[in-house]
Chain A
Amino acid sequence: MAKQYALSDDSVVVVIGSGAGGGTVSNELAQKGIDVVCLEAGSRLTLADVENDPPSMDAKMGWHDKRIGAFLWVCKTVGGTTMRWSGVTPRLQEHEVRALTTYGQIDAGTTLIDWPLALGELAPYYDKAELKMGVSGTHGIPLSDENNNYKVFNAGANLAGYKQITSGRMAINPVALDGRPGCQQIGFCNAGCAIGAKWSTLYTEIPKADLTGHFELRANSMAVRINHDKTGKITGVVYQGESGELHEQKARAVCVAGNVVETTRILLNSDSALFPQGLANSSGQVGRNYMRHTFGAAIAVMPQPVNVHRGARQTGILFDEQIHDPGRGFAGGYQLQAHGFDPLTTSNIIGGWGSEHTQFLDNYTKLAGLFITGEDPPEADNRISLHPNERDANGLPVPVIEYRNHANTNAMRDHAIAASQRIYESLGAKHFWGGDAPVGCHNMGVARMSADPKDGVTNRWGQAHDVPNLFVSDGSVFSSSGAGNPTLTIVALAIRQADHIAERMSQKMLY
């Protein structure tokens, strides 16, 4: 069962964060007999805490510490943003991991690079991740059930001439799997799955790691600084306990997986005489190349009832546009993903007021909806940094998040909105709304993997170029964004990274 390690025990790997990256790398290491202490800033909920009530769940598990700039829809809780995600799990595609080679450098502002690993190298880890997460429509697992909103999406897309549409690639159990039940079509996936049908590390990786006897989860433990010795070797992590008291957990190696803002903050906040620009930041790339996808939404009033609130929030991916076709006027591609919205979310997405707004809400039962997610190019000035003097309630420098859409992103979004309009109007939609949806749930790039240490922060294993026993294990390592939801790739990379760490340790090459 769950172990307890002494603060002075320097044989442990400290993992910062317990979400898709941190929860997975923790469990994978513990399964190999490597001792792990996982520091999680948030508290540990149970399924009994999950209510079909988004605002109260946001209060329980959302990240509310002070931040300046663009909003990120992320979680501070055991399980991290896997508590809130929708479960969509597409793979990266060949043209996406070779972004610079395929697209060329789009303009002087973009900082595209290729991934320093081939897609084929990731493929076996995608298989492992899909089996771990129970991804529907893969490895003999059934497709997800087709809900009403999917059926509208699929019918409209077919009429609009699209072919590659699936109800699979969801990490929500279509049937009972891995000790968890099949989906009961409750909805409210983004407020936490009340029955645990949706994969979340809270009730998969974390309890499995607990059972190994090689793992300790410390909830309510906010990592604030990573310490090193005079040679630059990482020696421990300083964290704040529940009442603000500081501790240092000694460490053999550290995996940082706090999602992009916290990963950036802890690296920059760990500056020292040896690392004056922040830890692992000799390139100056920590916090830069922040990507969050071309993100939009479409909502249509259909001629007859859809009842979009019934069932899983998201089921249905259209892949036809996830190609690189410069004839469309932009580099990279996008996916359309059927997505249902509750009234408040509908109102928030459409925005505005007056009758142009209420003509949608007045037809709530007839609404159909989708999300647009597409590749956005990295830019040096889309970045996360620390405010020079403002401090939050914990005394930490307040993160500043700067992000603006590239022209490529706007062109892609407009193309995707036009495609969405054709889909719904082919079925006689009465009103259509399409636009930006700056949700901030797909967060990538601030410690990206690069072949050349000048271009990024980590190497092909997510290991810091500057610091051998420091790893980054979340979406921060993405070299480019691809079009699809990042979680499956985060999990595949975390499994691969754990294999690498174990191998290096067995070769005595990692202290």
Chain B
Amino acid sequence: MDVSRISRRRFILTAVAASSVVAAPRSWLPGSIARADTPADPVLIRLTRLLFPHPGLRDDVYADVADILFTSYANNAATGQLLDAAGFALDEQADGDWFDADEDSQIEALRNIEGEAFFAAILAGLRGTFYYHPKVWTHLDYPGSSKEHGGYKHRGFNDINWLPEVK
């Protein structure tokens, strides 16, 4: 196809932001752009999940992360072009609509474009957003800031009990 789903949604998002209909649309889907409670775009959720596949991590967390990154990217011409390039390249790899391909084909398409600069830029942005997100931390059992709890001096910094004795 000529224009990827990602590009179409980015165009709509940008237009919406420019017309100030909504400040921060939750979805890039045509027809539902003005509704803040609609789920985030399934293509971007899919992309985020395939890049960082954590079994058991719910779609709404992927949606939160995808929204944060792609909203900021879409509203900037330079980073927006990265999204356009990724959408075009994925569709080209899938010989149609990447989103409609099966999972193995989707992953293969990603593997085929992972050497591209736009892929590296999007992956880096997504990584920084994803592994810095409190809901992801909760899933990983990582508690974040500790100074307000007095650190771990009295909270298990040396509580490991399964190691063999060292002479």
Contacts and interface: CB of A to CB of B under 8 A. Distances in A.
Question: Is chain B a partner of chain A in the same complex?
Answer: yes
Question: In terms of DSSP, what is the predominant structure of the interface of chain A?
Answer: loop
A151 B160 CA distance: 8
Interface string A169-198: 000000000000001111110000011000
A362 B157 contact: no
Contacts of A303: 162
B123 A343 contact: no
B131 to A, nearest CB: 4
Interface string A42-85: 00000000111101000000000000000000000000000000
A185 B152 contact: yes
A343 B160 contact: no
A282 B10 CA distance: 55
B146 A186 contact: yes
Contact of A52 (B53, B110, B123, B146): B146
B119 to A, nearest CB: 9
Contacts of A221: none
Contacts of B53: 354-355, 358
Contacts, number: 121
A365 interface: yes
Contacts of B31: none
A364 B123 contact: no
Interface string B83-124: 000000000000000000000000100100010000000010
A311 B52 contact: no
B147 A304 contact: no
A186 B147 CA distance: 6
Contacts of A358: 52-54
Contacts of B145: 51-53, 188
B98 to A, nearest CB: 16
Nearest to B51: A353
Interface in A342-363: 342-344, 346-348, 353-355, 357-358, 361-362
Given A147-B158, A427-B163, 12 more contacts: A159-B164, A183-B153, A184-B152, A185-B151, A186-B146, A188-B146, A311-B158, A343-B142, A346-B131, A347-B131, A354-B107, A364-B142
Interface of B: 50-55, 107, 110, 114, 123, 127-128, 130-132, 136-137, 140-147, 150-153, 155-160, 162-164, 166-167
Interface of A: 50-53, 55, 145-148, 151-152, 154-155, 158-159, 183-188, 194-195, 303-307, 309-311, 342-344, 346-348, 353-355, 357-358, 361-362, 364-365, 427
